[in-house]
Structure formats: structure tokens, C-alpha cells
Amino acid sequence: MNQLNCIIIDDEEGAHRVLEHFINQLKQLRLNGSFYTAVEAMEYVYNNQVDIMFLDINMPGLTGMEMLEAMSNKPFVILTTAYKEYALESYKYDVVDYLVKPFDFKTFLSAIDKVINRLGSTKRILEQANNNADYPVSKADHLVIKVDNEIVKLDFSSIYYTQSYGNYVKFFTAEKMYMSQITTQEVENKLDPKLFVRIHKSYLVALKEISKIAGGELFLKNGTNLPIGKFYKKNVIDRMKN
């Protein structure tokens, strides 16, 4: 595996020293930048390849949460903070892990392991996607999900896209949005792979609804714009051609 490019964003010098020490212990990681404000870090991310972002939440000016909200195409994010109360909110931004300071090397390793596992899943998905003949034939034309205390049947043709939301997935249709306690991976396994494509670690999209790709965004026919991940972009373009 190639080295993963890392950056640190934190307004505390001590936090930089700890993370730099931990990163240097692993040959799989390479520290490419250390930033003390979110604004200067965003400028770097827009112009450089970043795989992992170690991000503090409470910083002067733009906070870590505000930075995540502003970015449409984020690298893998590991939040590092002294505050526990933001944990639930943070997962709506699909962060890999939430480390509460002070954390030890074992906890740091666990977070890196999660990143590597996600990268492995991405690689397997793309390898399968690059060979259309390997797509399994789906016998179903609908998905059954639990929404609150109801069981809802969603026809594949009615689903525009799905979005992971912590331990839930949001299903966006022409009529309304449904939210169910299920993982994006489980949803992907149930959907017809000839009709849907993963565009981001958090998003699955109906191929027939894609209008165009521009920069780091994908646009649907209804005007919705979604982030498209760099690991998925080539496959999405290839699928659009078929």
C-alpha cells in the first residue's frame, strides 16, 4: 500500500507534537502538513492530495465542524478533541473516528485501522465495478426498510440517491425522504448494481438520475448536487458511458 498523506489541523502546539509522534511511528503514513487554522488547511486540501485529516473541533475562527460542513469532497476525517459532546453530531459528516484527548497510541492505531479497512472496501468495490460481467443479477426490483415503526417498500425506480447518516441511511425519492437504521454497505448489497453506483463513501446514486459531473461534484437531473469521491470518480464516469 502506498503511503497515506496526512495533515493535522489543531490550534494547540501540544496536539501537533503528539500526532506527529504517532504518525511517524507508522510507515503507512506520511505527514504532509500541520495547520493551526481551518481556513489555511482548506486551501491546502483544495490544492493537494490529502488522504487523512486529523481535525480539532474547537478552533478560533472557523471551527472543525464548520470546516466539514463547508467541504463537499473531504478526505478521511479523524476528529481529535477534548470534548465528548460533539460525537453524535460529528458522524453526520461521515467521520472515520472520534478521538477524545488525551488519547494513547493504541486508540490512534484503532482509528488508522478503520481508515485502512475503508480503503480496502473501496478497492474491492471498484475492482468489481470495473468488470460489468461480474455484476450479480438482481431478482428484486424493490427494497424493504423499517422507518420508525413502519415497514416501507421502496421501488428501485423511485430512489434518486441514498446518504449515510451515522448509523442510519437516508433514502431520497421523488415523493419524500425516508430514514432507516441500516448501513450504506447493507443498502448497496440489496440494490441492483446495474441501476445504482457508489459516488462517495456516503452516497449511492441511481445511474438514470445523473446529469453531469463538474469538479468534485455530481449533479442529478432534479438539480441536486452531491460530492463525488476521488476514489469513485473514474468508475462513475465509465458507468455513465454504458
- Residue 138 pLDDT: 46
Judgement on whether residues 191 and 90 belong to the same structural domain of the protein:
no
Average pLDDT of the residues in 191-216: 92
| Domain final residue pick, 100, 129, 158 | 129
Return the pLDDT at 181. Answer: 87
Confidence of residue 241 (pLDDT cuts 50, 70, 90): confident
Given a cut of 90, whether residue 173 has pLDDT beyond it is: yes
Q: 8-51: per-residue pLDDT in tens? A: 999 999 999 999 999 999 988 999 999 999 988 988 887 788 89
What pLDDT was estimated at residue 203? 93
| pLDDT(116) > 80 | yes
Q: Is the pLDDT of residue 125 over 70?
A: no
The pLDDT assigned to 128 comes to 54
Q: Which of 76, 109, 129 is the last residue of a domain?
A: 129
Residues 8 and 125 in one domain: yes
**Are residues 183 and 214 both part of a single domain?**
yes
Give the whole-angstrom CA distance, residue 84 versus residue 68: 18
Q: Which of 69, 99, 129 is the last residue of a domain?
A: 129
What are the φ/ψ torsions at residue 162 (nearest 5 degrees)? -125, 155
Q: Can you give the pLDDT at residue 142?
A: 86
pLDDT of residue 7: 96
Distance CA 23, CA 101 (A): 16
User: In terms of domains, do 194 and 222 share one?
Assistant: yes
**pLDDT higher than threshold 90 for residue 82:** no
For the entire predicted model, the pTM comes to 0.54
Q: Are residues 114 and 64 located together in one domain of the fold?
A: yes
pLDDT of 197 strictly over 50: yes
Report pLDDT for 133: 42
What CATH number should be reported for the domain holding residue 76? 3.40.50.2300
Helices within 71-193 (DSSP H only): 87-90, 105-129, 184-190
Number of structural domains (the chain) is 2
Q: Would you tell me how many other CB atoms lie within 10 Å of the CB of residue 20?
A: 14
What is the model's pLDDT at position 135?
47
pLDDT value for 123: 52
Stated as kind and residue range, the H or E segment containing 4 is strand 4-9
| Residue 17 and residue 62 share a domain | yes
Do residue 100 and residue 175 come from a single domain?
Answer: no
Q: Same domain, yes or no, for 9 and 82?
A: yes
Q: Are residues 41 and 88 in the same domain?
A: yes
Are 15 and 122 within one domain? yes
CATH number at residue 170: 2.40.50.1020
Enclosing domain of residue 27: 4-129
Q: What percent of the chain has a predicted confidence (pLDDT) above 90?
A: 43
Answer yes or no: are the C-beta atoms of 46 and 71 closer than 8 Å.
Answer: no
Average model confidence (pLDDT) across the chain: 85
Q: Is the pLDDT of residue 6 over 90?
A: yes
